[in-house]
Chains A and B, each alone.
Chain A
Amino acid sequence: MDNKQYDNHLGIIGWLGGGRWGVERYLYILHRVTGLGILLFFLIHIFASSMRMYGPETWAAAMAILKNPIFKLGEFFVFVAFAFHALNGIRLILIELGLAVGKAEEPIYPYKSSLNNQRPLMVIVMVVVAILIIAGGYNTFFGSH
């Protein structure tokens, strides 16, 4: 009988949510995607910055490649990912160390949950992220250097 069952696990689609899920679900997947993006950048960054151990000429050649506008756009994406991951990370640290989820309370309908406890924090964090992204974008694309 058991071997006739159908495996109904959602798979990786289940990470993406989709449909009628809460905001925190999307922050979760964004945190994951930006984290992977930053890790990729960081590995490239280690190799690029390690070019200095071969002396000034190699270093200057490496830096000349990075002058390409493609890398400027890439730098902006890294900045956006970093701003989001850092600030959302502060929120997650506060939550996961049990500091922003409130205390257990008797459930009385309509139910409130720890999501309600952390929501002001989430809103503040997202506003700061938006401001940082706008400021960073302005600096990257219209800045003096």
Chain B
Amino acid sequence: MRETAYWTWFIIAAIVILIFAGLHMVVMHLSMLGVFNPEGGAVTNWGNVAFRSQNQFLAFTYIILLGAALYHGLYGLRTIVFELGPKKSFQDTFTVLLWIVGLVLFAIGTYAAIAAKSLELAL
């Protein structure tokens, strides 16, 4: 029954991505929304990026989106690789490897989202 749990959370992650990536697109690509880009100009200007990192709600959505997208993407990759018919030992190793890669990337992304905030406060 373990696969049912994996797969159900894979679908839940898909729905989370749909909502939060939609929000991410609105924030990043509808530049007329000045509320998220107080400095004006491109959305990638440092002032805008720092502002969004400081906003607790946006930082929270980044972390949720990061976790959901990593889980969804890596589980999808695992499904595809398993369907290529590798050996059982490789399958077990691969699952553990993907957990490690996913957790490390999640840690890096979360640190980046929060570190920029503390950096901006220190400035």
Instruction: Report whether B66 and A46 are in contact in the complex, using a CB–CB cutoff of 8 Å.
Output: yes
Is B40 engaged at the interface, CB distance under 8 Å to the other chain? no
Query: Chain A interface residue count: which class?
Result: 20 to 34
Instruction: Report whether A145 and B31 are in contact in the complex, using a CB–CB cutoff of 8 Å.
Output: yes
Is A110 engaged at the interface, CB distance under 8 Å to the other chain? no
Q: Which of A32, A47, A93, A96 touches B80 (beta carbons < 8 Å)?
A: A32
Q: Which residues of B lie under 8 Å from residue A43 when comparing CB positions?
A: 105
- Smallest CB–CB gap between A4 and chain B, Å? 22
A128 to B46, CA, bound (A): 35
Instruction: Report whether A39 and B105 are in contact in the complex, using a CB–CB cutoff of 8 Å.
Output: no
Q: Which residues of B lie under 8 Å from residue A51 when comparing CB positions?
A: 112
Instruction: Report whether A36 and B108 are in contact in the complex, using a CB–CB cutoff of 8 Å.
Output: no
- Near B by CB (< 8 A), chain A positions 53-69 give 53, 55-56, 59-60, 63, 66
Instruction: Report whether B112 and A52 are in contact in the complex, using a CB–CB cutoff of 8 Å.
Output: yes
Instruction: Report whether A50 and B112 are in contact in the complex, using a CB–CB cutoff of 8 Å.
Output: yes
Chain B CB count within 10 A is highest, among A42, A53, A55, for A53
Instruction: Report whether A50 and B109 are in contact in the complex, using a CB–CB cutoff of 8 Å.
Output: yes
A102 to B108, CA, bound (A): 44
A1 to B21, CA, bound (A): 56
Instruction: Report whether B11 and A38 are in contact in the complex, using a CB–CB cutoff of 8 Å.
Output: no
Do A52 and B77 form a contact, CB below 8 Å, given A42-B69, A93-B11, A145-B31?
no
Q: Which residues of B lie under 8 Å from residue A90 when comparing CB positions?
A: 18
Q: Which residues of B lie under 8 Å from residue A38 when comparing CB positions?
A: 73
Chain A CB count within 10 A is highest, among B11, B69, B77, B112, for B112
Q: Which residues of B lie under 8 Å from residue A53 when comparing CB positions?
A: 111-112, 115-116, 119
Q: Which residues of B lie under 8 Å from residue A82 when comparing CB positions?
A: 21
Instruction: Report whether A93 and B69 are in contact in the complex, using a CB–CB cutoff of 8 Å.
Output: no
Per-position binary interface string of chain A over residues 23-58, scored 1 when its CB falls under 8 Å from any chain B CB and 0 otherwise: 000000000100110110011001101111101100
